[in-house]
Structure 1
Amino acid sequence: MQCLREGRTTVGYPVDHIIALADGGTDDDDNKETLCQPCHDAKSAREARQRA
């Protein structure tokens, strides 16, 4: 989980694609992780900006 990599323990809820499907990621389990909602929202916003 991203939060754990940053030293925070939080409840993960949304299952997120590590590499977004829109960026060529797969639906395989090894391309998924749970994120807390703030991390999920921030990652989604970054990905949307990068695609724009």
Structure 2
Amino acid sequence: MSITDHDAIGAYRTAFTEEKHVGISLLIPGIELNTDGIDSELHILGYCFDHI
């Protein structure tokens, strides 16, 4: 399971501290970065980064 937040990792940090309380055995760090493309907005997802 991965939780992505817009341009931040605050939601991941909160979920990481609570994962054992809700039965999640693996939580992959993720982030969503938004930028403007030529024709529209782009949403770029990043996973498995060092969150510490």
Task: State the TM-score bracket (shorter-chain normalisation).
Answer: under 0.3
Which structure's residues are more often strand, by fraction? 2
From the two aligned structures, give the one with the greater helix fraction: 1
